[in-house]
Chains A and B, each alone.
Chain A
Amino acid sequence: MDNSHFFVTGDPMIYGADVSIILVSLAIIIYLTYFKKWGWLWREWITTVDHKKIGIMYLLSSLLMLFRGGVDAVLMRIQLAVPNSHFLASEHYNEIFTTHGTIMILFMAMPFMFALFNMVVPLQIGARDVAYPFLNAVSFWLFFLGAMLLNISFVIGGSPNAGWLSYAPLSENDFSPGPGQNFWIWGIQISGIGSLMTGINFVVTILKMRTPTMRLRDMPLFSWSVLASSIAILGVFPIFTATLAMLTIDRLLGGHFFTMTGGGNPMMWVNLIWMWGHPEVYIVVLPAFGVFSEIVATFSKKRIFGYASMVFSMIAISIVSYYTWVHHFFTMGAGANVNIVFAICTMIIAIPTGVKVFNWLFTMYRGRIRITQPMLWFMAFVPCFLVGGATGVMLAAAPADYQYHNSYFLIAHFHQVLIGGVVFGYLAGMYYWFPKIFGIKLNERLGKWAFWTWQIGFYVCFMPQYALGFMGMTRRMYTYNSTMGWDMGWAPLNMISTVGAFLMGIGFIFQVWQILYSIKHGERDVTGDAWDGRTLEWSIPSPPPVYNFAILPVVKGRDAWWYQKQEMQKGSYQKEAVKYEPIHMPNNSGIPFLMAVCFFIAGFGFTFEWWWMGIAGLIGVFITLFARSFQYNTDHFISVEEIERTENALRNHGSIHRTAN
């Protein structure tokens, strides 16, 4: 391989990035050293196994990645704003949409989702941690260092440029030599292994760690959505791992899985990657559905409508989504019967999804709707997702898809479900649970500004793209109108779309501002129950103590906290005499971080085909695994006195034992 260009050169923008990366890193290092924060960072964050802290780290990284992916998006939109633009060269544009797609889905949506899993699920099911706290830390660090591996490709070695799902044979050595494609493989491989482990972790957490009195049928819908999503993760991430391994074998060992030569079959790549890729988009949208279920019930002051069919439809979506992957390549021509079967399976997904929408509507019906920030995002979600879903159903009609495929119609569809569904959903979740995790309510005024600029920006950006699709504009074009004198009239709509992208960017800036502002000046939440909530997480102080629940809560049915509050109000609530018992907690450990670092080293080595380094990294991984296996002193007990001390301190803050308003 040609490693002569270790540092990416030649583009002023990249030099700019180099300089700013160095400056920011220096600033961080100086800050940490000056304020003597290294020890704090190591003890409190890097070695932590506390699900809440891990959740916070996921949240921060995903917001960072939203920024990175968003900057990519804005660069693309600038390039496309006018025809025949020379802002970005072809290869550079290709790198940017590849990293945009990869980062947005794998390093923005996935960690945002895991942030919510971690911050909410144990609290909602009355557990003191996830089933495997150590593994949870491993998952986070694998994700984080995997993401960093892909991100450094921007300045070292060159970025991948074969599209976010890197179709073979374009992604093979013959057409994409150099480290870029390897960065893609190893970055998402490493973080994908982390995702798989998170899936196992949360399935077991939900099945086994609920407070003993909580039956599955009492479980809040967000936790159900996490279960459904995790089941889908378990079903497809192994395929992802294997498929990436195959491409690695092709590129590193000269194999012929997907090459044009040697009997390889590039179509097999397309087939396998979508077996993962399609369920992946439902993996990210299911938890958003869960978030909305919580929000709608809370802010309509009403029980969720049709709980049983809500649960059923989520499980149905996660299973049926396994049977639709061919809709991404109807045009490959696997056969009319194949297309028909998968077209119909795809449309079937619309049915349970629709049921969820109707149940949300009827949760609000005869309720009392409070329009708070989380609810605002829900109300933006409904029309947006309905339209995006409907265009999905249009795509699912196979012969019609022959006309939409790979056009801007498709781009508009998936941004509408990804932004309207996933991003709005997770942002709603962030607004909803922010007071729980940080004890701070986010500023309303700035929130409104952010909301409206996002909304307007979204429609201005993506509605024109449907039209562009009908005008025959295909995706992944770095320029248009430059050849042969075809002027298809794409220019005006592209310009509008770019304006929309900028508006969304402004919306994002408002959000960052909102968070920073609120941390400084925001309203503190001392009640622990910022929204008059219904589920267990609102029954404990905000932010919760390390062990979450001093005493495991007793649950008598759905919406446990809501009914407990009512009993408390009526005065019929029998408060049992508190008798604390020592609480069993896992110890912090540096091994997860070290293991992920070894993975990073291995990934970096293999990316540059420096075998010594790759193998050294892998050996490091095994050493950390063994070190863990020999560790017996992995947990401790929190003494009763300490629990009493903590609880008293928190109670004096005036939280849990207040009566409901």
Chain B
Amino acid sequence: MSNQEHTASIKAYVTGFILSIVLTVIPLVLVLNHMMGKAALTVSILLAAVLQFVVQLFFFMHIRDGEGPRYNVMALILGIIFVVTIVAGAIWIMSFNSQVQ
């Protein structure tokens, strides 16, 4: 994590920026023009969001930077697992979908 080596270059930033814009415009167009069924639409825009998150990570936040054990990557992966657990778990549990006793 020292500052010696950087994947940051103007090229990376511009690429990242363009990709982000594209990945923002696509879901906007899809949603505002009602282009798909509800389920498909939901999946596509979530997918676009996740892709954009990845773009940010690689092109802006330089997740690949640094040497030695990648503790930041490990933290991030664990964090993502927990995030999914929190949101999906809450939705699943709060749907109260059958009789218990």
Direct contact of A and B (CB under 8 A): yes
Instruction: Scan A329-349; emit 1 where CB is below 8 A from any B CB, else 0.
Output: 000011111110000000000
Name A's interface SS.
Answer: helix
- In whole Å, how far is B26's beta carbon from the nearest beta carbon of chain A? 31
The listed residue (A231, A322, A339) touching B100 by CB distance below 8 A is A339
Contact between A235 and B92, CB atoms less than 8 A apart: no
The listed residue (A239, A265, A338, A399) touching B86 by CB distance below 8 A is A239
Supposing A207-B71, A339-B100 touch, asked if A271 and B94 sit within 8 A by C-beta, the answer is yes
Give CA–CA (A632, B82) in the complex, Å.
37
> Is B9 among interface residues, defined by CB-CB distance under 8 A?
no
Supposing A268-B94, A322-B85, A338-B92 touch, asked if A235 and B78 sit within 8 A by C-beta, the answer is yes
- Complex contacts, B75 vs chain A, CB 8 Å: 234
- Complex contacts, B95 vs chain A, CB 8 Å: 334-335
- Complex contacts, A338 vs chain B, CB 8 Å: 92-93
Give CA–CA (A235, B85) in the complex, Å.
11
- Complex contacts, A272 vs chain B, CB 8 Å: 90
Give CA–CA (A402, B101) in the complex, Å.
9
- In whole Å, how far is B89's beta carbon from the nearest beta carbon of chain A? 7
Give CA–CA (A334, B71) in the complex, Å.
37
> Is A188 among interface residues, defined by CB-CB distance under 8 A?
no
Contact residues, A271-298 vs B (CB, 8 A) = 271-272, 275
> Is A135 among interface residues, defined by CB-CB distance under 8 A?
no
Contact between B93 and A334, CB atoms less than 8 A apart: yes
Supposing A272-B90, A275-B86, A275-B89 touch, asked if A335 and B98 sit within 8 A by C-beta, the answer is yes
> Is B4 among interface residues, defined by CB-CB distance under 8 A?
no
Query: Of residues B93, B96, B98, which shows the largest number of chain A Cβ atoms within 10 Å of its Cβ?
Result: B93
- Complex contacts, A399 vs chain B, CB 8 Å: 101
Contact between B85 and A334, CB atoms less than 8 A apart: no
- Complex contacts, A397 vs chain B, CB 8 Å: none
- Complex contacts, A207 vs chain B, CB 8 Å: 69, 71
Contact residues, A252-280 vs B (CB, 8 A) = 265, 267-268, 271-272, 275
Instruction: Scan A6-36; emit 1 where CB is below 8 A from any B CB, else 0.
Output: 0000000000000000000000000000000
- Complex contacts, A275 vs chain B, CB 8 Å: 86, 89-90
The listed residue (A333, A334, A337) touching B101 by CB distance below 8 A is A333
Contact between B100 and A333, CB atoms less than 8 A apart: yes
- In whole Å, how far is B86's beta carbon from the nearest beta carbon of chain A? 7
Supposing A207-B71, A235-B78, A275-B86 touch, asked if A334 and B99 sit within 8 A by C-beta, the answer is no
Tell me how many residues of B have a C-beta within 8 Å of chain A: 19
> Is A326 among interface residues, defined by CB-CB distance under 8 A?
yes
The listed residue (B69, B78, B86, B94) touching A334 by CB distance below 8 A is B94
- Complex contacts, B90 vs chain A, CB 8 Å: 268, 271-272, 275
Contact between B82 and A235, CB atoms less than 8 A apart: yes
Contact between A265 and B98, CB atoms less than 8 A apart: no
- Complex contacts, B98 vs chain A, CB 8 Å: 335-337
Contact between B71 and A335, CB atoms less than 8 A apart: no
> Is B97 among interface residues, defined by CB-CB distance under 8 A?
yes
- In whole Å, how far is B81's beta carbon from the nearest beta carbon of chain A? 9
- Complex contacts, A235 vs chain B, CB 8 Å: 78, 82
Contact between A336 and B85, CB atoms less than 8 A apart: no
- Complex contacts, B85 vs chain A, CB 8 Å: 322-323
Contact residues, A335-376 vs B (CB, 8 A) = 335-339
- Complex contacts, A268 vs chain B, CB 8 Å: 90, 94
Contact residues, B49-101 vs A (CB, 8 A) = 69, 71, 75, 78, 82, 85-86, 89-90, 92-101
Q: Which residue of B lies closest to A216 (CB)?
A: B69
Contact between B96 and A333, CB atoms less than 8 A apart: yes
- Complex contacts, B71 vs chain A, CB 8 Å: 207
Query: Of residues B85, B89, B100, which shows the largest number of chain A Cβ atoms within 10 Å of its Cβ?
Result: B100
- In whole Å, how far is A330's beta carbon from the nearest beta carbon of chain B? 8
- In whole Å, how far is A591's beta carbon from the nearest beta carbon of chain B? 26
- Complex contacts, A336 vs chain B, CB 8 Å: 98-100
Give CA–CA (A381, B101) in the complex, Å.
37
Supposing A239-B86, A322-B85, A402-B101 touch, asked if A231 and B78 sit within 8 A by C-beta, the answer is yes
Supposing A207-B71, A268-B90, A275-B89 touch, asked if A334 and B96 sit within 8 A by C-beta, the answer is yes
- Complex contacts, B89 vs chain A, CB 8 Å: 271, 275, 325
- Complex contacts, B82 vs chain A, CB 8 Å: 235, 322
Contact between A335 and B101, CB atoms less than 8 A apart: no
Give CA–CA (A268, B86) in the complex, Å.
12
- Complex contacts, B101 vs chain A, CB 8 Å: 333, 399, 402
Give 7 new A-B contacts, CB below 8 A, not counting A267-B96, A325-B89. Answer: A234-B75, A268-B94, A322-B85, A333-B99, A335-B97, A336-B99, A338-B92
5 closest pairs, A vs B, by CB?
A333-B100, A334-B93, A335-B98, A335-B97, A235-B82
Residues of A within 8 A of B (CB): 207, 231, 234-235, 239, 265, 267-268, 271-272, 275, 322-323, 325-326, 333-339, 399, 402
5 interchain pairs (CB within 8 A)? A231-B78, A322-B85, A333-B100, A334-B92, A335-B95
